[in-house]
Amino acid sequence: MNTEDDVPETGRPDDASTRRLYVEFEVEPSSSADCPLSGFERDVVEVRQQRTANRCHTDVTLSPDDCGCADDDCTEVVHAASAVGDRCPCEVFSEYGCVPQITEIDGDDVVVETYLPDRDVLTDLVDDLKAVVDGISLRRLKRIGSLEREEPRADVTLNLFELTEKQREAAAAAVAAGYYSRPREADLGELSADLGISKSALSQRLTAVESKLATSAFARATAD
């Protein structure tokens, strides 16, 4: 339990830091990672996860709607545990001081949300995640504070393996600065100066990202 000596006058612990970005990934763990969250054939309602020492423990609540039995209430909770290995994405999140929250499981894909301090961490985090997973896509990237003002949306995923490091950096900087906010809170000149590149180079990178987003949205719409 905290005492008055533990918390400064600001009301925060001495080692606390501010999170500025919300990010939601769709991750396909490596087939060699032995992830306890992979391979569920029924819809997943809820996931609770805890790491203790070098073990990952999960409680997964499965939907009763597609179990195929006659019982009106056959919700099932499955517990699984496995060793945390070098190819575990949760280990990467931990190295960056992030707290991953698993919100959805769809086959072998796991949806993870977390909060980040700045765009530089996002760029480095994605690079390290790409090294340990079979697939990773970006579903949402928002500044903290803009979530409450967000209008209803349709999910569009952006395959991060298709973006270059410079394109990811430009997109993260644009979101963090409020370039895509309405009204816009930063212009191209301010962003390019912050990144140390020309306006034309930044425009080309953002156009490439936006084009891939549009392609992804179109592909999802035609598939539905």
CA distances from 171 to 20, 57, 106, 125, 136 (A): 15, 34, 27, 15, 16
Mean pLDDT throughout 84-90?
84
Tell which wins on pLDDT, 65 or 8: 65
Of 57 and 146, the structure prediction assigns the larger pLDDT to 57
Q: How far apart are CA 207 and CA 188, in angstroms?
A: 12
**At 105, which helix (H) or strand (E)?**
strand 101-106
**pLDDT by residue (tens digit) across 159-190?**
888 888 899 889 888 888 888 877 888 899 99
Report the predicted TM-score, pTM, of the whole model to 2 decimal places: 0.73
Strand order in the sheet with 158-159: 101-106, 109-116, 21-29, 133-143, 158-159
CB 157 within 8 A of CB 111: no
- d(C-alpha 172, C-alpha 170), whole Å: 6
Which tokens hold the place of 216? 């992804």
The DSSP-derived string for 149-212 is TPPP-----EEGGGS-HHHHHHHHHHHHHTTTSSS-SS-HHHHHHHHTS-HHHHHHHHHHHHHH
Phi, psi (deg, nearest 5) at residue 123: -60, -45
Quick one: pLDDT at residue 114?
94
**Minimum mean pLDDT among 4-8, 39-43, 53-57, 163-167: which range?**
4-8
All structural domains of the chain: 21-28+86-223 (3.30.70.600)
Quick one: average pLDDT of 58-82?
77
* Strand partners for 106: 109
Is pLDDT of 113 > 90?
Answer: yes
Least-confidence region, from 10-19, 43-52, 103-112: 10-19
Whole-number pLDDT of residue 67: 61
In this prediction, residues 46-72 reach a mean pLDDT of: 78
Mean pLDDT (the chain) is 80
> Which tops the pLDDT comparison, 208 or 12?
208
In contact, 142 and 22? CB cutoff 8 Å: yes
When pLDDT is cut at 50, 70 and 90, the band that residue 134 belongs to is very high
